[in-house]
């Protein structure tokens, strides 16, 4: 294998580690699921490299013989990283795989497993950003959310990661494609139209708890929500609570781990999703009327961003990768 660029969490090592996870579960009931995750990770990494301002190809990470071995097992991401969009970042896929292996209710085991993985991958505290940091694969924040019933019973837990791709264009692309394809409509609405007063009101029985990995350490610490999350996800019980003294966000709406975890929760619980109100400037809005606005906003932004890259569009269609 070639020497990969020196970055916080380099793609070659990330791929090799995920390949090891895949091989460890190749004989059990998770074989098909983990194979899909592995294929999705490869595609997402290759896609991000392809749209970077200084394009980096799969051949930059692997020697020819190793590339052929990977291609034989996972040909689809090699064939489609220029023509199909991912649906999420590599770290979000890794997080899903870990949750699938450890079980969604085993929060401590999930977080410990993630910490161990990152330690093994030797993710250092960043000192400066250079060309070699063309995208960062580590999500610094993990969010876990759940819904409590009237009897106080905790339902399934859902995990989300903050955006783990470095570069403004890459971040905007992931947020836009998530609004169009990945996130539930109500969450996509809150993110896409946040600048126009868009938000959603959730029951207080929806609980969100976020953890941030401190640079240079191998564990996560609790983190309060930022102002962005408070503004667009109203009513949620955040742990720990937001404080006016907390850091003001320098990142766009949709960047936070809360977005992904809440979207997964609402996708899984249609009854809960029905209880979520759609707001515009603190007044009830008609989601059916706003649906087209969300879709058009995300699509036009995607077309604009990708027109400056080597992404190859199939006519007017925007295609998404399916493992």
CA dihedral 59, 65, 70, 73 (to 10 degrees): 140
Is residue 26 a part of any domain in this protein?
Answer: yes
| CA 232 from centre of chain | 18
Residue 98 corresponds to which tokens in the numbers above?
Answer: 């870990």
Q: pLDDT tens-digit profile of 254-308? A: 999 999 999 999 999 999 999 999 999 999 999 999 999 999 999 999 999 999 8
Hey, which residues does 194 pair with through a beta bridge? Answer: none
Are the beta carbons of 8 and 126 closer than 8 angstroms? yes
Is residue 172 a part of any domain in this protein?
Answer: yes
The secondary structure of residue 139, as a DSSP letter, is -
Buried b / exposed e over 215-252, threshold 16 CB at 10 Å, is eeeeebeebbbbebbbbbbbebebeeeeeeeeeebeeb
Is residue 6 a part of any domain in this protein?
Answer: no
Domain count, the chain: 1
Residue 117 corresponds to which tokens in the numbers above?
Answer: 């993985």
pLDDT the model gives residue 5: 44
- Say if residue 133 is preceded by a cis peptide, omega within 30 of 0: no
Confidence of residue 246 (pLDDT cuts 50, 70, 90): low
User: Maximum CA pair distance of the chain?
Assistant: 60
Is residue 318 a part of any domain in this protein?
Answer: no
Closest CA to 238 of 216, 221, 213, 258: 258
- Say if residue 238 is preceded by a cis peptide, omega within 30 of 0: no
Is residue 33 a part of any domain in this protein?
Answer: yes
Is residue 4 a part of any domain in this protein?
Answer: no
Q: pLDDT tens-digit profile of 213-228? A: 876 666 789 999 999 9
Are the beta carbons of 39 and 76 closer than 8 angstroms? yes
Confidence of residue 8 (pLDDT cuts 50, 70, 90): very low
Is residue 287 a part of any domain in this protein?
Answer: yes
What is the DSSP annotation of 217-244? -SSEEEEPPPHHHHHHEET-EEESPP-T
Q: pLDDT tens-digit profile of 152-198? A: 677 899 999 999 887 788 999 999 999 999 999 999 999 999 999 99
Is residue 185 a part of any domain in this protein?
Answer: yes
pLDDT the model gives residue 248: 74
What is the DSSP annotation of 96-114? HHHHHHH-TT-HHHHHHHH
Q: Which residues contact 322 (CB under 8 A, 6 or more apart)?
A: none
Domain housing 242: 11-306
pLDDT exceeding 90 applies to what percent of the chain? 63
Are the beta carbons of 248 and 267 closer than 8 angstroms? no
Entry pTM = 0.90
SS percent in the chain: helix, strand, coil, step 5: 45, 15, 40
Are the beta carbons of 76 and 118 closer than 8 angstroms? no
pLDDT the model gives residue 247: 66
Is the pLDDT assigned to residue 49 strictly greater than 70? yes
């Amino acid at each position: 294998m070639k020497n990969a660029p020196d970055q916080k969490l380099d793609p070659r090592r990330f791929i090799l580690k995920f390949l090891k996870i895949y091989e460890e579960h190749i004989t059990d009931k998770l074989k098909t699921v983990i194979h899909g995750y592995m294929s999705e990770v490869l595609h997402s990494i290759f896609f991000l490299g392809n749209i970077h301002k200084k394009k980096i190809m799969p051949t930059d990470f692997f020697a020819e013989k190793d590339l052929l071995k990977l291609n034989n097992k996972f040909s689809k991401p090699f064939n489609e990283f220029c023509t199909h969009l991912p649906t999420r970042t590599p770290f979000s896929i890794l997080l899903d795989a870990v949750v699938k292996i450890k079980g969604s209710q085993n929060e401590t085991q999930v977080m410990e497993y993630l910490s161990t993985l990152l330690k093994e991958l030797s993710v250092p505290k960043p000192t400066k950003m250079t060309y070699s940091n063309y995208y960062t694969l580590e999500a610094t924040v993990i969010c876990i959310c759940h819904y409590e019933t009237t009897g106080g019973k905790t339902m399934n837990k859902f995990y989300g990661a903050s955006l783990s791709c470095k570069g403004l264009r890459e971040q905007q692309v992931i947020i836009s494609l998530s609004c169009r394809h990945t996130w539930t409509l109500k969450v996509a609405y809150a993110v896409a139209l946040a600048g126009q007063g868009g938000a959603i009101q959730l029951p207080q029985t929806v609980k969100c708890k976020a953890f941030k990995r401190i640079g240079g350490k191998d564990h996560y610490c609790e983190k309060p929500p930022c102002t962005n999350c408070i503004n667009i996800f109203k009513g949620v019980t955040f742990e720990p609570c937001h404080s006016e003294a907390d850091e003001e966000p320098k990142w766009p709406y949709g960047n936070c781990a809360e977005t992904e975890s809440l979207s997964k929760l609402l996708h899984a619980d249609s009854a809960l999703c029905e209880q979520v109100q759609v707001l515009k400037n603190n007044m009830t809005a008609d989601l059916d009327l706003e649906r087209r606005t969300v879709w058009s906003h995300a699509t036009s932004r995607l077309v604009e961003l990708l027109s400056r890259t080597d992404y190859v569009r199939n006519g007017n269609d925007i295609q998404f990768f399916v493992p």
